[in-house]
Amino acid sequence: MSKRGYFHRGETRLSYVDFGGSGKLLIALHGRSGSARNFAPLAKALAHDWHVMALDQRGHGWSDHAEDGSRQAFIDDAARLIDLMSPRSPVALLGHSLGGINAFQLSAQRPELVPCLIVEDIPAHLKTPPMPLEPWPLRWESLAEMLAFMRASPFGLSPLLLDSIVEHEDGWGFRFTDAWYDRIRPTLQGDHSADWAAVRCPILLLRGRQSWALGAAEAQRMLALNPQAELLEFDAGHVVHDDQPAEFQAAVADFLKRHGT
């Protein structure tokens, strides 16, 4: 069974989920509006060969909604978890979307920590992340009311979002808030190509062909920037691990078998 744990970096309390498993350590970083629990299916699929842990990144899951939402804060949170859980050995690192940027920037800054890297559907040059179509309610009176609202939305019952549902004292809602994310949105925008190009370990870049985030031209540009990278594309949107779970898990397992030594 998985276990939730906590650690502090400065005054910020951060949460992670230890899914267990055998073998070397894989640490996973979720995307915007996600949580550590998003990686439960992957952890189950890899359990015979890999010990999977996933971080609730700041502002998400059971981690604090810290005042500092800088790029470096996210990077240092992940580095701290690696230092705590694998102080003498490097770990494989996987990141989706927001977590993908954090993962490749950490790999560039701390190459000794990361022998292989998996980045799921995020560009190195991120222009303007899409804004929500309209603000969602902060709370719903019942879980049934909340789920009905989600079914009628363009996102539907997205597993990425469902993992973050919780009952608050004043009703049902998510563990994240759009208001908190809106403060950090500008830090994601911009050209992070220098960090991508600086990564020296093997990289698996995963792209959904229907993704809003990572276009075909940008994926090819990223391959040209870093000869360590290989690209796999899927019949999926931005959340490949939910849209094509079996194919995603097989691709990750194959890459780790080849490079996760």
**For the segment 36-84, what is each residue's pLDDT rounded down to a tens digit?**
999 999 999 999 999 999 999 999 999 999 999 999 999 999 999 999 9
- Residue 134 above 60 pLDDT? yes
Q: How confident is the model at residue 185 (pLDDT cuts 50, 70, 90)?
A: confident
- 73 phi, psi to nearest 5 deg: -65, -45
Q: Is residue 157 part of a domain?
A: no
Q: How confident is the model at residue 131 (pLDDT cuts 50, 70, 90)?
A: low
Beta bridge partner(s), residue 56: 15
- Residue 12 above 80 pLDDT? yes
Domain count within the chain:
1
| The pLDDT of residue 132 | 55
CATH number, domain containing residue 97: 3.40.50.1820
* DSSP β-ladder status, 190-191 and 171-174: unpaired
d(CA 223, CA 75) in angstroms, rounded, equals 23
| The pLDDT of residue 244 | 98
- Residue 15 above 80 pLDDT? yes
User: What average pLDDT does range 4-24 have in this prediction?
Assistant: 97
- Residue 261 above 80 pLDDT? no
- Residue 256 above 80 pLDDT? yes
Q: Is residue 178 part of a domain?
A: no
- Check if the beta carbon of residue 64 is closer than 8 Å to that of residue 14: yes
DSSP state letter for 111: G
Q: Is residue 169 part of a domain?
A: no
Q: Is residue 248 part of a domain?
A: yes
Q: Is residue 133 part of a domain?
A: no
| The pLDDT of residue 246 | 98
- Residue 1 above 90 pLDDT? no
Q: Is residue 64 part of a domain?
A: yes
Q: Is residue 33 part of a domain?
A: yes
Q: Note down the domain range covering 112.
A: 3-127+189-259
User: What average pLDDT does range 145-150 have in this prediction?
Assistant: 97
Q: Is residue 251 part of a domain?
A: yes
d(CA 55, CA 230) in angstroms, rounded, equals 25
d(CA 256, CA 49) in angstroms, rounded, equals 9
217-235 residue pLDDT tens: 999 999 999 999 999 999 9
